[in-house]
Amino acid sequence: MSIVIRALDSSALPQVAAGAAQTFRHPWSAAAFADSLNCGYCLLGIEVDQQLAGHALFSQVLDEAELQTIAIYPQWQRRGLARLLLRQGIEQLRQQGVVRLLLDVRAGNHAAISLYESLGFVLDGRRKGYYPAEEGDGVEDALLMSLML
């Protein structure tokens, strides 16, 4: 199995948006990803045997960065790809002088929270009712986390 992590450009956005749509109930659109790229965000993709298996989008302001969204598409989940993708993103950010990486995550996304904690992220706070619920109506809290690089 060949795994490659690389920066993606606008030509990959149809695939990225399709992958996000498979992964999330409220996915980012291709236009939202395009706007992010136009603002200078970094979009990384992880490919397995030349197939796009996931993506991560990072924004950066001075010495802080934020993980805007990350997805490993359903058929590729539970293979350690999110960990590889995040580690690569963290290393790239560190090389660019970033000292702190921020993110928010659904309070009910226990797998993601466990991954972030295993990489050294700590809980900074909670945003009440931030996300639309994954199932049914209602809202879900976001946990605010950060990692000192």
* Domains observed in the chain: 3-148 (3.40.630.30)
Sorting pLDDT into bands at 50, 70 and 90, what band is 136? confident
Residues annotated in the binding site for acetyl-CoA, as ranges? 70-72, 109
pTM of the full structure: 0.94
| pLDDT(144) > 90 | yes
- Is 116 assigned a catalytic role? yes
| Cα atoms found within 13 Å of the Cα of residue 61, Cβ hemisphere only | 4
63: number of Cβ within 10 Å: 12
pLDDT in tens, 33-61: 999 999 999 999 999 999 999 999 999 99
User: What are the φ/ψ torsions at residue 17 (nearest 5 degrees)?
Assistant: -65, -40
Beta-sheet pairing, 122-132 with 3-7: unpaired
Report the pLDDT value the prediction gives residue 56, as an integer from 0 to 100: 98
Question: SS3 helix, strand, coil % of the chain, rounded to 5?
Answer: 35, 40, 25
Residues annotated in the binding site, as ranges? 70-72, 109
Share of the chain above pLDDT 90, in %: 92
Sorting pLDDT into bands at 50, 70 and 90, what band is 134? confident
Q: Which residues pair with 65 in a beta bridge?
A: 60, 101
Report the pLDDT value the prediction gives residue 132, as an integer from 0 to 100: 85
Marked catalytic residue, from 41, 116, 130, 131: 116
Q: What is the mean pLDDT of residues 74-84?
A: 96
Say how far apart CA 41 and CA 85 lie, in whole Å.
16
Report the pLDDT value the prediction gives residue 149, as an integer from 0 to 100: 95
Return the CA Rg of the chain.
15
